[in-house]
Structure 1
Amino acid sequence: MASVFITYGSTTGNTAYVAESIQRTLEQSGHQVTIKDVADINVTDLTKTYDLCCLGCSTWGDDEIELQDDFIPVFEEIEHVDLSRKKIACFGCGDSSYEYYCGAVDAIEESCKNAGASIFTDSLKIDGDPKAEQADIDAWAQDLVAKLNA
Protein backbone atom coordinates (compact mmCIF):
# COMPACT_ATOMS: atom_id res chain seq x y z
CA MET A 1 0.00 0.00 0.00
CA ALA A 2 0.96 3.62 -0.44
CA SER A 3 2.49 5.94 2.13
CA VAL A 4 0.79 9.32 2.40
CA PHE A 5 1.88 12.46 4.21
CA ILE A 6 -0.84 14.92 5.23
CA THR A 7 0.02 18.33 6.62
CA TYR A 8 -2.41 21.11 7.35
CA GLY A 9 -2.70 24.60 8.79
CA SER A 10 -5.84 25.16 10.82
CA THR A 11 -6.84 28.06 13.03
CA THR A 12 -10.48 27.24 13.77
CA GLY A 13 -10.18 23.46 13.48
CA ASN A 14 -11.99 23.15 10.15
CA THR A 15 -8.95 22.25 8.05
CA ALA A 16 -7.77 19.85 10.78
CA TYR A 17 -11.18 18.17 10.60
CA VAL A 18 -10.82 17.73 6.83
CA ALA A 19 -7.27 16.37 7.20
CA GLU A 20 -8.40 13.84 9.81
CA SER A 21 -11.32 12.76 7.62
CA ILE A 22 -8.94 12.16 4.71
CA GLN A 23 -6.57 10.28 7.01
CA ARG A 24 -9.37 8.02 8.24
CA THR A 25 -10.48 7.10 4.71
CA LEU A 26 -6.93 6.38 3.56
CA GLU A 27 -6.12 4.26 6.60
CA GLN A 28 -9.38 2.31 6.30
CA SER A 29 -8.28 1.48 2.76
CA GLY A 30 -4.97 0.09 4.00
CA HIS A 31 -2.67 3.01 3.24
CA GLN A 32 -0.03 4.20 5.69
CA VAL A 33 -0.65 7.82 6.71
CA THR A 34 1.53 10.31 8.56
CA ILE A 35 -0.39 13.42 9.57
CA LYS A 36 1.14 16.56 11.08
CA ASP A 37 0.16 20.11 11.82
CA VAL A 38 2.18 22.33 9.46
CA ALA A 39 3.56 24.18 12.51
CA ASP A 40 5.40 20.95 13.37
CA ILE A 41 7.11 20.34 10.03
CA ASN A 42 9.91 21.67 7.89
CA VAL A 43 9.43 22.12 4.14
CA THR A 44 11.95 19.32 3.55
CA ASP A 45 9.41 16.88 5.02
CA LEU A 46 7.66 17.18 1.65
CA THR A 47 10.73 15.69 -0.06
CA LYS A 48 10.70 12.45 1.96
CA THR A 49 9.79 9.14 0.37
CA TYR A 50 6.00 9.41 0.50
CA ASP A 51 3.93 8.26 -2.44
CA LEU A 52 1.63 11.25 -1.99
CA CYS A 53 1.72 14.51 -0.02
CA CYS A 54 -1.59 16.19 0.84
CA LEU A 55 -1.38 19.83 1.86
CA GLY A 56 -4.31 21.58 3.52
CA CYS A 57 -4.67 25.26 4.29
CA SER A 58 -7.49 27.65 5.03
CA THR A 59 -7.75 31.01 3.28
CA TRP A 60 -8.24 34.36 4.96
CA GLY A 61 -8.43 37.87 3.63
CA ASP A 62 -10.80 39.97 1.62
CA ASP A 63 -8.36 42.21 -0.25
CA GLU A 64 -5.74 39.55 -0.99
CA ILE A 65 -5.09 35.86 -0.49
CA GLU A 66 -3.91 35.20 3.04
CA LEU A 67 -2.77 31.74 4.06
CA GLN A 68 -3.35 30.34 7.53
CA ASP A 69 -0.55 31.77 9.71
CA ASP A 70 1.25 28.51 10.51
CA PHE A 71 1.39 27.57 6.82
CA ILE A 72 3.18 30.75 5.71
CA PRO A 73 6.78 29.70 6.60
CA VAL A 74 6.42 26.39 4.73
CA PHE A 75 4.70 28.08 1.78
CA GLU A 76 7.52 30.63 1.47
CA GLU A 77 10.07 27.80 1.19
CA ILE A 78 8.23 25.43 -1.17
CA GLU A 79 9.78 26.76 -4.35
CA HIS A 80 13.26 26.39 -2.81
CA VAL A 81 13.05 22.58 -2.54
CA ASP A 82 13.06 19.98 -5.28
CA LEU A 83 9.63 18.39 -5.50
CA SER A 84 10.22 16.70 -8.84
CA ARG A 85 8.83 13.16 -8.84
CA LYS A 86 6.52 14.16 -5.95
CA LYS A 87 2.75 13.81 -6.17
CA ILE A 88 0.79 16.55 -4.43
CA ALA A 89 -2.90 16.94 -3.59
CA CYS A 90 -4.21 20.15 -2.03
CA PHE A 91 -7.28 20.89 0.05
CA GLY A 92 -8.60 23.73 2.15
CA CYS A 93 -11.46 25.55 3.74
CA GLY A 94 -12.77 28.98 2.92
CA ASP A 95 -15.82 31.14 2.52
CA SER A 96 -17.25 31.58 -0.97
CA SER A 97 -18.54 35.05 -0.11
CA TYR A 98 -14.91 36.26 -0.27
CA GLU A 99 -13.29 37.23 -3.55
CA TYR A 100 -10.39 34.78 -3.12
CA TYR A 101 -12.40 31.72 -2.10
CA CYS A 102 -9.86 29.04 -1.12
CA GLY A 103 -7.15 31.02 -2.87
CA ALA A 104 -4.52 29.55 -0.54
CA VAL A 105 -5.19 26.14 -2.08
CA ASP A 106 -4.51 27.50 -5.56
CA ALA A 107 -1.37 29.35 -4.40
CA ILE A 108 0.07 26.26 -2.69
CA GLU A 109 -0.70 24.08 -5.69
CA GLU A 110 1.02 26.57 -8.02
CA SER A 111 4.12 26.78 -5.80
CA CYS A 112 4.35 22.99 -5.68
CA LYS A 113 4.13 22.81 -9.49
CA ASN A 114 6.86 25.47 -9.74
CA ALA A 115 9.02 23.26 -7.49
CA GLY A 116 8.56 20.34 -9.89
CA ALA A 117 5.69 18.45 -8.25
CA SER A 118 2.88 16.87 -10.20
CA ILE A 119 -0.69 17.47 -9.13
CA PHE A 120 -2.23 14.12 -8.23
CA THR A 121 -5.87 15.20 -8.43
CA ASP A 122 -8.05 18.30 -8.52
CA SER A 123 -8.00 20.25 -5.29
CA LEU A 124 -10.71 19.99 -2.65
CA LYS A 125 -12.27 23.29 -1.59
CA ILE A 126 -14.69 23.31 1.32
CA ASP A 127 -17.10 26.22 1.72
CA GLY A 128 -17.84 26.94 5.37
CA ASP A 129 -18.47 24.15 7.87
CA PRO A 130 -16.69 20.98 6.70
CA LYS A 131 -19.12 18.76 8.63
CA ALA A 132 -21.83 19.95 6.24
CA GLU A 133 -19.57 18.95 3.33
CA GLN A 134 -18.60 15.50 4.63
CA ALA A 135 -19.87 13.76 1.49
CA ASP A 136 -17.53 15.89 -0.67
CA ILE A 137 -14.59 15.20 1.66
CA ASP A 138 -15.27 11.47 1.59
CA ALA A 139 -15.65 11.43 -2.19
CA TRP A 140 -12.35 13.28 -2.63
CA ALA A 141 -10.57 10.92 -0.25
CA GLN A 142 -12.05 7.91 -2.07
CA ASP A 143 -10.74 9.37 -5.33
CA LEU A 144 -7.27 9.48 -3.74
CA VAL A 145 -7.66 5.84 -2.73
CA ALA A 146 -8.73 4.81 -6.23
CA LYS A 147 -5.79 6.62 -7.83
CA LEU A 148 -3.31 5.24 -5.29
CA ASN A 149 -4.62 1.72 -5.91
CA ALA A 150 -4.48 2.05 -9.71
Structure 2
Amino acid sequence: MAKALVVFGSTTGNTESVAGYVAKTLEGEGMSVDVKNVSGVQAAGLADGYDLVVFGSSTWGDDDIELQEDFQPFFEELDKANLSGKKVAVFGCGDSSYTHFCGAVDAIEEKVGQLGADVVAASLKIDGSPEKDEAVAWARDVFKNAA
Protein backbone atom coordinates (compact mmCIF):
# COMPACT_ATOMS: atom_id res chain seq x y z
CA MET A 1 0.00 0.00 0.00
CA ALA A 2 1.34 3.43 -0.95
CA LYS A 3 2.02 5.74 1.95
CA ALA A 4 1.46 9.52 2.08
CA LEU A 5 2.42 12.21 4.55
CA VAL A 6 0.47 15.46 4.89
CA VAL A 7 2.34 18.21 6.77
CA PHE A 8 0.49 21.46 7.45
CA GLY A 9 0.90 24.75 9.26
CA SER A 10 -2.32 26.47 10.26
CA THR A 11 -3.08 29.50 12.40
CA THR A 12 -6.82 30.00 11.89
CA GLY A 13 -7.72 26.37 11.16
CA ASN A 14 -8.39 26.76 7.42
CA THR A 15 -5.22 25.01 6.30
CA GLU A 16 -5.76 22.30 8.90
CA SER A 17 -9.25 21.69 7.47
CA VAL A 18 -7.83 21.31 3.97
CA ALA A 19 -5.18 18.91 5.28
CA GLY A 20 -7.99 16.79 6.71
CA TYR A 21 -9.93 16.79 3.43
CA VAL A 22 -6.79 15.84 1.51
CA ALA A 23 -5.92 13.03 3.93
CA LYS A 24 -9.42 11.54 3.89
CA THR A 25 -9.50 11.68 0.10
CA LEU A 26 -6.12 9.96 -0.26
CA GLU A 27 -7.22 7.31 2.24
CA GLY A 28 -10.39 6.81 0.22
CA GLU A 29 -8.21 6.17 -2.83
CA GLY A 30 -6.39 3.41 -0.92
CA MET A 31 -3.35 5.16 0.50
CA SER A 32 -2.11 4.93 4.06
CA VAL A 33 -1.89 8.55 5.29
CA ASP A 34 -0.15 10.24 8.20
CA VAL A 35 -1.16 13.83 8.99
CA LYS A 36 1.20 15.99 11.01
CA ASN A 37 1.14 19.56 12.24
CA VAL A 38 4.42 21.16 11.20
CA SER A 39 4.94 22.40 14.77
CA GLY A 40 5.51 18.79 15.85
CA VAL A 41 7.89 17.56 13.13
CA GLN A 42 11.52 17.91 12.23
CA ALA A 43 12.65 18.23 8.62
CA ALA A 44 15.54 15.77 8.88
CA GLY A 45 14.52 12.53 7.16
CA LEU A 46 10.88 13.57 7.05
CA ALA A 47 10.13 11.99 3.65
CA ASP A 48 11.77 8.65 4.43
CA GLY A 49 9.27 5.81 4.03
CA TYR A 50 6.68 7.88 2.15
CA ASP A 51 5.69 7.66 -1.51
CA LEU A 52 3.96 11.05 -1.50
CA VAL A 53 4.49 14.14 0.65
CA VAL A 54 1.89 16.93 0.71
CA PHE A 55 2.70 20.30 2.27
CA GLY A 56 0.15 22.92 3.31
CA SER A 57 0.80 26.43 4.61
CA SER A 58 -1.13 29.63 4.86
CA THR A 59 0.41 32.93 3.72
CA TRP A 60 0.67 36.13 5.73
CA GLY A 61 2.05 39.55 4.96
CA ASP A 62 1.38 42.20 2.37
CA ASP A 63 4.90 43.47 1.64
CA ASP A 64 6.78 40.16 2.00
CA ILE A 65 5.76 36.55 1.61
CA GLU A 66 5.40 35.12 5.08
CA LEU A 67 4.80 31.44 5.62
CA GLN A 68 2.62 30.37 8.51
CA GLU A 69 4.72 31.04 11.63
CA ASP A 70 5.27 27.38 12.59
CA PHE A 71 6.10 26.49 8.98
CA GLN A 72 8.88 29.08 8.60
CA PRO A 73 11.60 27.31 10.67
CA PHE A 74 10.69 23.99 9.05
CA PHE A 75 10.96 25.58 5.60
CA GLU A 76 14.48 26.77 6.41
CA GLU A 77 15.50 23.16 7.17
CA LEU A 78 13.63 21.56 4.26
CA ASP A 79 16.85 20.54 2.51
CA LYS A 80 17.25 17.87 5.22
CA ALA A 81 13.90 16.19 4.46
CA ASN A 82 15.21 13.80 1.74
CA LEU A 83 12.77 15.03 -0.91
CA SER A 84 14.94 14.18 -3.94
CA GLY A 85 12.92 11.89 -6.20
CA LYS A 86 9.84 12.05 -3.94
CA LYS A 87 6.40 12.86 -5.27
CA VAL A 88 5.24 16.12 -3.68
CA ALA A 89 2.19 18.38 -3.82
CA VAL A 90 1.56 21.76 -2.18
CA PHE A 91 -1.57 23.60 -1.05
CA GLY A 92 -2.35 26.67 0.99
CA CYS A 93 -4.88 29.19 2.11
CA GLY A 94 -4.58 32.93 1.71
CA ASP A 95 -6.35 36.18 0.97
CA SER A 96 -6.42 37.42 -2.61
CA SER A 97 -6.53 41.03 -1.43
CA TYR A 98 -2.84 40.69 -0.45
CA THR A 99 -0.04 41.36 -2.93
CA HIS A 100 1.38 37.83 -2.61
CA PHE A 101 -1.76 35.68 -2.68
CA CYS A 102 -0.71 32.25 -1.38
CA GLY A 103 2.93 33.18 -1.85
CA ALA A 104 3.92 30.53 0.70
CA VAL A 105 2.63 27.87 -1.70
CA ASP A 106 4.84 29.25 -4.48
CA ALA A 107 7.87 29.43 -2.16
CA ILE A 108 7.42 25.84 -0.95
CA GLU A 109 6.81 24.52 -4.46
CA GLU A 110 9.90 26.29 -5.77
CA LYS A 111 12.08 24.98 -2.95
CA VAL A 112 10.96 21.35 -3.20
CA GLY A 113 11.60 21.51 -6.94
CA GLN A 114 15.12 22.78 -6.28
CA LEU A 115 15.61 19.88 -3.88
CA GLY A 116 14.80 17.37 -6.63
CA ALA A 117 11.21 16.53 -5.73
CA ASP A 118 8.70 15.61 -8.43
CA VAL A 119 5.80 18.06 -8.05
CA VAL A 120 2.88 15.92 -9.24
CA ALA A 121 0.07 18.48 -9.49
CA ALA A 122 -0.52 22.18 -9.86
CA SER A 123 -0.64 23.73 -6.42
CA LEU A 124 -3.97 24.39 -4.73
CA LYS A 125 -4.46 28.01 -3.64
CA ILE A 126 -7.57 28.70 -1.62
CA ASP A 127 -8.91 32.21 -1.16
CA GLY A 128 -10.42 32.54 2.31
CA SER A 129 -12.43 29.70 3.81
CA PRO A 130 -11.79 26.31 2.24
CA GLU A 131 -14.44 24.45 0.32
CA LYS A 132 -14.39 20.70 0.77
CA ASP A 133 -15.26 19.92 -2.87
CA GLU A 134 -12.30 21.93 -4.17
CA ALA A 135 -9.86 20.20 -1.79
CA VAL A 136 -11.25 16.74 -2.57
CA ALA A 137 -11.02 17.28 -6.35
CA TRP A 138 -7.43 18.49 -5.99
CA ALA A 139 -6.46 15.55 -3.76
CA ARG A 140 -7.91 13.10 -6.30
CA ASP A 141 -5.80 14.76 -8.99
CA VAL A 142 -2.72 14.49 -6.76
CA PHE A 143 -3.42 10.80 -6.18
CA LYS A 144 -3.94 10.10 -9.88
CA ASN A 145 -0.70 11.88 -10.82
CA ALA A 146 1.28 10.25 -8.00
CA ALA A 147 0.15 6.71 -8.78
Q: TM-score, normalised by structure 1?
A: 0.92
Instruction: For 1:79-118, list aligned pairs within 5 A.
Output: 79-118=79-118
Pair 1:9-2:16 in alignment: no
- Deviation, 1:81, is 4.8
Superposition RMSD on alpha carbons, in Å?
1.3
Q: Matches of 1:46 and 1:122 in 2, distance apart?
A: 22
Q: What is the match of residue 123 of structure 2?
A: 123
Q: What is the match of residue 137 of structure 1?
A: 135
- Deviation, 1:147, is 2.4
Q: Matches of 2:53 and 2:45 in 1, distance apart?
A: 9
- Deviation, 1:70, is 0.4
Which protein has the bigger helix share?
A: 1
Kept in 2, the 8 Å contact 1:26–1:33? The answer is yes
Q: What is the match of residue 144 of structure 2?
A: 146
Q: Secondary structure at the match of 2:89?
A: strand
Q: TM-score, normalised by structure 2?
A: 0.94
* CA shift digits 1:40-71 (9 cap, x unpaired): 11112433121100000000001110010000
Kept in 2, the 8 Å contact 1:57–1:67? The answer is yes
Kept in 1, the 8 Å contact 2:43–2:80? The answer is no
Q: Mean alpha-carbon deviation: is it higher for 80-89 or for 112-121? A: 80-89
Q: What is the match of residue 38 of structure 1?
A: 38
Opposite residue 95 of structure 1, the aligned amino acid is: D
What runs of 5+ residues in structure 2 fail to find an aligned partner?
Answer: none
* Displacement over 4 Å in runs of 4+: none
Q: Mean alpha-carbon deviation: is it higher for 24-33 or for 75-84? A: 75-84
Q: Matches of 1:23 and 1:134 in 2, distance apart?
A: 12
For this pair of structures, how many residues does the alignment match?
A: 147
What runs of 5+ residues in structure 1 fail to find an aligned partner?
Answer: none
Pair 1:60-2:49 in alignment: no
